[in-house]
Amino acid sequence: MNNEIFEFNPETSKEVRDIITDLYHSKKRVKITYGDIATGKSWHEENDVYGRIGRSTGTKPIPLLVYNKCSTGGASLLAHCILKIEASSKPHSSIYKHPLFKPSKFEIKEAVLRCEDFAFELHIDGKFHSRHKTQESACKLIVKLS
C-alpha cells in the first residue's frame, strides 16, 4: 500500500519526495531551481519558483508550488526536474542540491547593439540571456536566478 500523500513522476528520487512531503507539512517558503538532472544545468526559470508546497485535490493529488497564504492554487511542481531547493528567507539556506548541480557563470556586458536604451546584456554560461536598461536591473536578475 502506498502511504505517500502525493502522486509523483516515477523519475522523482526518494530523497526529493521525502523533502517535498516534509516541506508540505512544515509550510516553509522555498525557492526551487529546475533543470536537466542528467547534466546538472539550470533552466534559469524566472516564474513559479517561489512559494510553499501545496497539494492538488482529486484522486491523484500532486504537489503544487503555491505563491503565498492567500493563493488558492499554484503551479504543478516538476519534482523530477528539481536541481536545488532553498529556504526563501534571506540568506537562502540550502535544503537540497542535486549531486550533478553546476552553478552557472553570469556576465554583464555592455550591449553591442543598443536598442531603445537597453545598454546592458546578461550572458549565462557564455550565451545571451536578456537585455537591460541598467546594470542594476541585470544584477537583480542574477540574484533571482542564482
pLDDT of 2 higher than 60: no
Residue with more model confidence, 112 or 50: 50
Could you report the per-residue pLDDT of 111-135, keeping only the tens digit for each? 876 667 888 999 999 999 999 999 9
Helix and strand numbers, DSSP H then E, in the chain = 2, 10
What is the model's pLDDT at position 71? 84
- At residue 1 the predicted structure's pLDDT band, cuts being 50, 70 and 90, is very low
pLDDT > 70 fraction of the chain, expressed in percent and rounded: 95
Cα dihedral sign for 50, 34, 139, 122?
negative
Average pLDDT on 35-64 reads 93
- Sorted by where each begins, the domain ranges of the chain are 14-97, 106-145
Most confident of 11-20, 63-72, 88-97: 11-20
Could you report the per-residue pLDDT of 69-99, keeping only the tens digit for each? 888 888 899 999 999 999 987 777 899 999 9
- Mark 24-61 as b/e (b = at least 16 C-beta within 10 Å): beeeebbbbbbbebeebbbebeeebbebbbbeeeeeee
Q: What pTM was estimated for this model as a whole? A: 0.86
